[in-house]
Structure 1
Amino acid sequence: MSAPPAARPAVSAENAPNPVRQLASRVGTMCLVELQKLRHDRTELVTRAIQPALWLLVFGETFTRIRAIPTGSTPYLDYLAPGILAQSALFVAIFFGIQIIWERDAGVLAKLLVTPTPRAALVTGKAFAAGVRALAQAVIVLVLAALLGVALTANPLKLLGVAAALVLGSAFFCCLSITIAGLVLSRERLMGIGQAITMPLFFASNALYPVDIMPTWLRVLNHVNPLSYEVDAVRGLLIGTPSRLALDFGVLVLAAVVAIAVASALLGRLTR
């Protein structure tokens, strides 16, 4: 009589995969991939910086001279610079869903989804990769703002806070783009919707003008617009205007978490 097969040794808790470590590993990998793309195509950063530069050079300089928008003791160009910084991050992140659709068409997404990697890890990696790309462009905008004489902080802790706000905002808008991609399933529709919502998001925030001078209906939109909280945090940290940092970061973290969850749930529709 043959001996019964030996039981497999139980997997110890120490050898079990750590979901937090796995998530961090996937996010780090996606960010490294994005940095590699930037290294091979640096011209994209320059071309994407043209529009923020025009906002600062034309809009900012002109409205600083005519003093049409009341910003108190803060020069309008100083007030505008953080808003343009957040706008540039928005424009980078809002079209990230096109990359997801391209990966679906190339068969890359299907291969990623059959791996043990959770969908939330994939989406989170994409979201924070968008943040890395936005930070790379933010450096260019900050240098230009400094050359124009904007009084920027040199406090490293505040600059880290600015980076965190930009990354969280980019993560939300990247996941919003992935969510739209999961709904419309085509690059053309996503491009059209992305172009249709970017400027309303921008104008319905406090990036260009204070909330106090907005009409009532625009104030309502401002309060539910994550970009407004991103701008408020960046402006408060960068040039020292009054801000509600705890509320700003709380909203940005909550918005990013919810957006990651929704985008993860819709990711599978792209492969059907």
Structure 2
Amino acid sequence: MTHAAPAVPPAGSADVPPAWTTWRLLPARVVAMCIVELQKIRHDRTELYTRAIQPALWLLIFGETFSRLRAIPTGKVPYLDYLAPGILAQSTLFIAIFYGIQIIWDRDAGVLAKLLVTPTPRAALITGKAFAAGTRALTQAVAILVLSAILGVTLTLNPLRWLGVIVIVMLGTAFFSCLSMTIAGLAMSRDRLMGIGQAITMPLFFGSNALYPVDLMPTWLRVISHVNPLSYEVDALRHLLIGTPGHLLLDFGVLVVAAAAGITAASALLGRLVR
């Protein structure tokens, strides 16, 4: 009496889920990373308070002083109103540009190597961390907007515009955090990342329309402003928060493309950190 040999499943079919299944994990991973960030803030609010000091100084000192000097022409818009969205974008930039340090910490702790052997796509991990940075930035944005309102900045009351502000802040922070994680994949160390981050932060800030209109810039700086994603984030925030003329669809499109490019670049270099 003979027995039929058990059927052998195709190679990789038992243990490795199909690609479309792993990509279904993307929303869950993003939500999980965001929850982790909120829990960190809930357990230790010190970073939130200390990070709010610098934007507060920009609004209280720089904003109030230049409002009285009227040295920067902003049309019928008070300079403090004009400045507030720019400082909001600046604060999210400062949070995101050093976010790659967390990737290096994860590598040093052995967490990154464990994450990379899971079936979750690398792009899903990067996307989760990018939008987790956006969640952290939103908590910072609340503090800045409350201070702006106290100082007399006229902010919109339209809930749809506030929803747009959330989307723009998340996209802008996602791009700059991915830029930081890309730099981490190239620099490979915290010290190098800190040095590069400090070297590019202020040029990104001053090379945008956060402090002054593009029309006041010299020609070479206008070119930099037009390719600087921060300029599009500021333009969208000004339009949504204080109602200045803007190019919302263009701003949104540029930020979406920039965030997608940042996720792609950071995902491609993620494995380099654990080699």
**Shorter-chain TM-score above 0.5:** yes
Distance 2:47 2:201 in 1: 19
Q: Give deviations 1:19-58, integer Å, cap 9, x for gaps.
A: 4431101111111111111111112111000000000000
The equivalent residue for 1:4 is 5
The equivalent residue for 2:26 is 23
Distance 2:20 2:89 in 1: 37
The equivalent residue for 2:185 is 182
Give the secondary structure class of the aligned counterpart of 2:24: helix
May I ask how many residue pairs the two structures share in their alignment?
Answer: 269
Distance 1:163 1:43 in 2: 23
Of 201, 222, 225, which residue of structure 2 is paired with 1:222? 225
Q: Do residues 245 (structure 1) and 253 (structure 2) align? A: no
Distance 2:56 2:6 in 1: 71
The equivalent residue for 2:135 is 132
Q: Is this contact kept in 1: 2:229–2:258, CA < 8 A?
A: yes
The equivalent residue for 1:269 is 272
Distance 2:200 2:9 in 1: 56
Structure 2: which amino acid aligns with 1:66?
L
Q: Give deviations 1:184-235, integer Å, cap 9, x for gaps.
A: 1000000011011111100000000001111100000000000000000000
Of 155, 158, 175, which residue of structure 2 is paired with 1:155? 158
Give the secondary structure class of the aligned counterpart of 1:182: helix
Distance 2:228 2:202 in 1: 12
CA shift at 1:137, angstroms?
Answer: 0.4
Q: Do residues 91 (structure 1) and 90 (structure 2) align? A: no
Q: Is this contact kept in 1: 2:23–2:124, CA < 8 A?
A: no
The equivalent residue for 1:258 is 261
Structure 1, unmatched stretches of 5+, are none
The equivalent residue for 1:42 is 45
The equivalent residue for 1:201 is 204
TM-score normalised by structure 1 residue count? 0.96
Q: Is this contact kept in 1: 2:236–2:251, CA < 8 A?
A: yes
TM-score normalised by structure 2 residue count? 0.95
Give the secondary structure class of the aligned counterpart of 1:77: helix
The equivalent residue for 2:175 is 172
Structure 2, unmatched stretches of 5+, are none
Q: Do residues 62 (structure 1) and 37 (structure 2) align? A: no
Between the two proteins, what is the percent identity of the paired residues? Answer: 75
Distance 2:106 2:206 in 1: 32
Structure 1: which amino acid aligns with 2:4?
A
Structure 2: which amino acid aligns with 1:218?
L
CA RMSD of superposed structures (Å):
1.6
Q: Give deviations 1:134-181, integer Å, cap 9, x for gaps.
A: 001000000000000000001111011011111000000000000000
